[in-house]
């Protein structure tokens, strides 16, 4: 007879690359730093507008979808309220699967970057979403998605890794009024 002990179920080890960043400077009215392992691709969807693009992490099968909207001067307050409400609504569509949604306020008076960061816990399709605005002219929305079945336990190290990148993105985000 053989003594057989099955291996316990587990997840594959994930080796994450060291952190290093590069500056994004394009034709959009903002700049930020993004991870060197990531690739920026324009959103090619037919409904996409200028300055809509994806920050893709090919090795992790993850994408941060970014969209930019210019706030029109004649209806700026109403338009900004609508953009914020649309963002909140998109986040709270995940309440079916989310075990918790944590909101963190973003306010940097020196660079005029304000917004809200949403961390979604549980087996949700998007574990992090955010919006940034200068409250007058510009609005950017971002959402992290993985191109795999959502399992918070197995994705946990990668989610933490990309969340740190998003925090770096938010903390270094600046408006470029010249564009």
Examine the pLDDT at 33 and tell me if it is beyond 80: yes
Confidence tier at 48 by pLDDT (50, 70, 90): confident
Give the pLDDT of residue 11: 60
DSSP calls for 91-137:
HHGGGGTEEEEEEEEEEETTTTEEEEEEEEEES-S-SEEEEEE-SSS
| pLDDT digit string, tens, across residues 66-122 | 999 999 877 768 899 999 999 999 999 998 989 999 999 999 999 999 999 999 999
Residue 154's SS3 state is: helix
* Beta bridge partners of residue 13, listed in sequence order: none
10-22 per-position pLDDT tens digit: 666 677 888 999 9
User: What stretch of H or E contains 142?
Assistant: strand 138-146
Res 1: pLDDT:
60
Q: How far apart are CA 168 and CA 19, in angstroms?
A: 10
So what's the pLDDT on residue 140?
97
Does pLDDT of 178 surpass 80?
A: no
Longest distance between any two alpha carbons in the chain, whole Å: 83
pTM over 0.85: yes
Q: What is the pLDDT of residues 139-162, one digit of tens each?
A: 999 999 998 877 777 788 888 999
Instruction: Note the pLDDT of residue 13.
Output: 66
Burial class (CB in 10 A: 0-12, 13-18, 19+), 106: middle
């Amino acid at each position: 007879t053989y003594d057989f002990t099955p291996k316990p179920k587990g997840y594959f080890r994930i080796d994450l690359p060291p952190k290093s960043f590069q500056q994004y400077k394009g034709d959009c009215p903002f700049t930020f730093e993004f991870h060197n392992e990531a690739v920026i691709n324009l959103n090619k969807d037919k409904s996409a507008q200028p300055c809509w693009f994806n920050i893709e992490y090919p090795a992790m099968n993850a994408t941060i979808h970014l969209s930019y909207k210019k706030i029109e001067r004649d209806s700026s307050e109403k338009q900004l309220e609508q953009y914020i409400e649309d963002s909140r609504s998109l986040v709270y569509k995940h309440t079916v699967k989310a075990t918790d949604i944590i909101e963190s306020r973003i306010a940097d008076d020196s660079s005029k970057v304000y917004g809200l960061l949403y961390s979604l816990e549980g087996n949700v399709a998007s574990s992090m979403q955010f919006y940034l605005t200068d409250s007058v002219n510009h609005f950017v929305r971002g959402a992290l998605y993985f191109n795999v079945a959502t399992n918070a336990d197995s994705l946990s190290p990668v989610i933490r890794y990309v969340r740190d990148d998003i925090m770096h993105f938010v903390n270094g985000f600046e408006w470029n009024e010249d564009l």
